[in-house]
A and B are shown apart, each in its own frame.
Chain A
Amino acid sequence: MPDEEVLEEGILNPVQPEIQDPLLRELLADEPAVTPADTPQEQAQPTPESDEEVDCVVVGTGAGGAPLLARLARAGLKVVALEAGPWHQPEKDFATDEKAQDFLFWNDERLAAGHDPLAMGKNNSGTGVGGSTLHYTAYTPRPLPDDLNLHRDFGLGVDWPLSYEELAPYFEEVEQFLGISGPTPYPWGPARAKGYPLAPLPLNSAAQLMVKGCEKVGINTSPAANAALSARYYQEGVGWREACTNRGFCQAGCSNGAKASMDVTYIPLAVQHGADIRPNCFVTEIERNAQGAVTAVVYTQNGQTKRQRCRHLFLCAGAVETPRLLLLNEIGLDSGQVGRNLMAHPGVQVFGTFADEVRPNKGIPGALISQDTHRPQDADFAGGYLLQSIGIMPVTFAGQVARGRKLWGQPLRDYLRSYNHVAGINILGDCLPHADNFLELAEEKDARGLPKPRLHFTAQANEQRMSAHAEALMRRIWEAAGATDIWSFQRYAHVIGTARMGLSGDDAVTDRDGRVFGVPNLYISDNSTFPSALSVNPALTIMALSLRTADRFLEKMK
């Protein structure tokens, strides 16, 4: 049904076939990329002969792939990164315009099922060298130690096969390398060996209002840790990066390199150490030998099918495309867990209107944080959440008003005239795995002829109670800060857990080092390996795990 165009009265036969993937359309049209990107020929390294075997192929260049890529290249290994999207030049290409920046998102269609269907695309899924870090909000809080032990503490979900102490050195390394701006000391969690390298970014209006409201309600707040520079910053292998100019456009791409997306941090480091980055390469097949070991990947680049032989393969394509590749290739499926345990962070937002001028487009969107709600005393749920102030861009806000308030006509236009007086708070909360929440391959095909992924997500009692607790609290905070016309927008962010790590291949897809059980030379490094969702934004933990996976791999190679 879906790919057959039915001719109906009143509908003209479209000239173009229904190809929903802009990249593929370009390929089929046999034209250079129309996105404002430099074509791969200008930036990629020379393509090796097809029969050359490299040490490692890394699929995906986001938070899971890029740190590992740099580490492996630095160790002298011959590494190739295959990235589905193009390689941008942000200074030149990135507009301060939400619509124009649509090319940053993974726009291939995913089917969202369940009672709480997950919005994808700009909500949580990117493409291009740098992956989703091109549009992440740059939140980089560390998980708190007990985030890793929900089962120990509540008898629910599963524990991580790793401790906070094992991850802490990697958190520190990433924070120092990216140049995180944040408070020292950090008010929550264990004492740290090193503080953040830069002072926090300035508080914008939404953050100032949240301080005011939280003081009255009795909640401690702090300037947040953000992966955007509060001052110029130098790192070996990267050079100087400029300070944040408070554009407030993190979610639509940073144009001056202040935000630590992978394309301005770990990717240049990897290139300096000889990594071969190949943009516009979409991987479709994983080839194996009789022993079940990976021997090569097959991918398409500019309309051509290519094969890259490799000794080791690292899947770092995110929690949708990584399990999709495993399912398509029927590899690593012994545990029966691939695609299962899909989790998403409760991310309910509460907006209010203030007599003061807010102008919510300016400044780092998430300038203020509170983790006082990490384990609320009056909680009727397992786990907890954090609170963040939110600035917001106008088109994103308008879309949420349409979806969340269902205002239309004159009331819609009247409400949005108050944009300059609106501020928000949101949470990021933990999520438990549930049998009803999973990813599968749909019968419906994409333009490549591959099955589309279908994501089932229904918030269970724990997520519902947490969201209700958080919404009531945020409403109290905004009332205390003087807001009127307070409303909430129910949402879930990030896809997590679809190829989880664990101690045994009986109930996990990878071991604690990211190696896939049952396949000797296949690794996963992205948020699909998270055994539980964590009550913090995932990017920092993905990067820390990426470095750890690389180190563990290199130790085994010795």
Chain B
Amino acid sequence: MATAKRKQLDRRWLFLLLFVGVALPLIFVIGFPIETTENVRMVYNLVENTPPNSKVILSFDYDPGSKPELHPMAKAMMQHCFDRDIKVIVTALWPMGVQMAEEIFSDIQSKNPDVKYGIDYVNLGFKSGGIVTIQSMGKQFREVFPEDMNGTSIDEFPIMDGIKNFDNLSFVCSFSAGDPGIKQWVQVTHDKFNRPVTGGVTGVSAPSILPYVNAQQQLTGLLAGLKAAAEYELLSKVPGTATSGMDAQSIAHLIIIIFIVIGNINFRRDKKAEKRGE
């Protein structure tokens, strides 16, 4: 027992090592190569193949707690839409999603003043209700969102002309940190109203959402975690915080892997020692 205790590394050393291992690559960029994956290319191609002047929904279903993972991909996707002349209608199933979208839009607009509110972009704000709200949007969009986030009637915005239900939209993209989120968009928008759905999720929820990327195309690709955000930035040629974070991510994973290996080697040694009766 005393032997086992001596071999136990104080976990605070590991925390410190991870902290330094993540901080240093952010300061001194290494530039590890980033490979794109099929799921991310599917999302990218969906935007690429959407005709200019089409209208899409970007649903911001997250809050600051998931910002490091979802914000970079949402920003890359919105920028990509504007580059392709695609009109962006923002909704939010999470209250703070509204501010997340506004932060991205104001950042993009500061670099590209040609993007106009009400013409290229509108933020319809937060609506509670989750799956029930999405079902109602599929039947009568304007009843669910009669006004934008500032209380202005949507009839005053050119971007909202002709929007009655999901049939008038090219696709829906949800940046989702949980429930309600992308799962509900798939269940209603694709599986009931047969419109393409894509999106991005946090790494934690990715395993439960990935099965929707299947032969039935319940999801058209999926951006899962910071790695996928970096891939999307690479494909859309707009490097951002996800790309700069990938070196740190790789180093941190390396440290975790090394410690898992060391832990397992020690575990085996202890087992052998126990068998020998030491």
Q: Do A and B come from the same complex?
A: no
Binding site for B on A (CB under 8 A): none
